[in-house]
Amino acid sequence: MDFLIKALQLILSLSILVILHEFGHFFFARLFKTRVEKFYLFFNPGFSLFKFKKGDTEYGLGWLPLGGYVKISGMIDESMDKEQLKEEPKSWEFRSKPAWQRLLIMVGGVLVNFITALVIFWLILFKWGESYIPAENARYGLYFHPIAQEMGLQEGDRVLKVGTHDVETVPGITRLILLEDASEMTVERNGEQILLPIPSDINQRILAAGVRTLADFRIPIVVDTVIPGSGAFIGGLQKNDSIVGVDNVETPFFHQFTAELANHRDKETLISLYRDGNLYHLNMSVDESGKLGFGPKGPTKLLGARQLSYGFFEAMPAGINKGVNLLTGYVKQLKLVFSREGAKQIGGFGTIGSLFAPVWDWESFWYTTAFLSIILAFMNILPIPALDGGHVLFLIYEIVARRKPSDKFMEHAQMVGMVLLLGLLIWANGNDLYRWIFK
Phi, psi of 361 (to 5 degrees): -125, 120
Distance CA 315, CA 124 (A): 8
Distance CA 142, CA 148 (A): 11
pLDDT of residue 78: 54
Average pLDDT over residues 91-118: 89
Distance CA 129, CA 119 (A): 14
Residue 258 parent element (H or E): helix 254-261
Delimit the domains of the chain by residue range. Answer: 2-126+366-437, 135-215, 221-295
Burial annotation 78-89 (CB, 10 A radius, 16+ → b, else e):
eeeeeebbeeee
Tens digits of residue pLDDT in 1-12? 777 888 898 889
Phi, psi of 221 (to 5 degrees): -95, 105
CB 76 within 8 A of CB 82: yes
Higher pLDDT, 211 or 349: 211
Beta strand residue intervals within 251-330, DSSP E:
268-275, 278-285, 294-296, 306-308
Distance CA 162, CA 147 (A): 16
CB 92 within 8 A of CB 73: yes
The distance of Cα 287 from the centroid of its chain, to the nearest Å, equals: 34
Average pLDDT over residues 85-90: 67
Distance CA 72, CA 57 (A): 10
pLDDT range class, residue 83, cuts 50, 70, 90: low
Tens digits of residue pLDDT in 239-252? 999 999 999 899 99
Tens digits of residue pLDDT in 207-221? 877 788 999 999 999
Decide if 135-215 and 221-295 have a common fold.
Answer: yes
Task: Give the chain's mean pLDDT.
Answer: 87
DSSP conformation class of 70 = E
pLDDT of residue 47: 84
Tens digits of residue pLDDT in 52-81? 888 888 899 888 887 888 888 887 665 555
Distance CA 272, CA 62 (A): 61
CATH number of this structure's domain 135-215: 2.30.42.10
Which pTM value belongs to this model? 0.82
- Based on its alpha-carbon atoms, the radius of gyration of the chain, rounded to whole angstroms, reads 27
Residue 229 pLDDT exceeds 80: yes
How much of the chain exceeds pLDDT 70, in percent?
Answer: 94
Tens digits of residue pLDDT in 383-399? 887 788 888 888 888 88
Instruction: Say which CATH superfamily domain 221-295 falls into.
Output: PDZ domain (2.30.42.10)
Q: Is 52 helix (H, G, I), strand (E, B) or coil?
A: strand
Quick one: 307 exposed, middle or buried, by C-beta within 10 A (0-12, 13-18, 19+)? exposed
CB 73 within 8 A of CB 97: no
pLDDT of residue 85: 58
pLDDT of residue 388: 83
Distance CA 340, CA 69 (A): 33
Tens digits of residue pLDDT in 359-391? 888 999 999 999 999 988 988 888 887 788 888
Contacts of 438 (CB under 8 A, 6+ apart): none
CA quadruple 24, 29, 35, 36: dihedral, nearest 10: -10
pLDDT range class, residue 155, cuts 50, 70, 90: very high
What type of residue sits at position 144? F
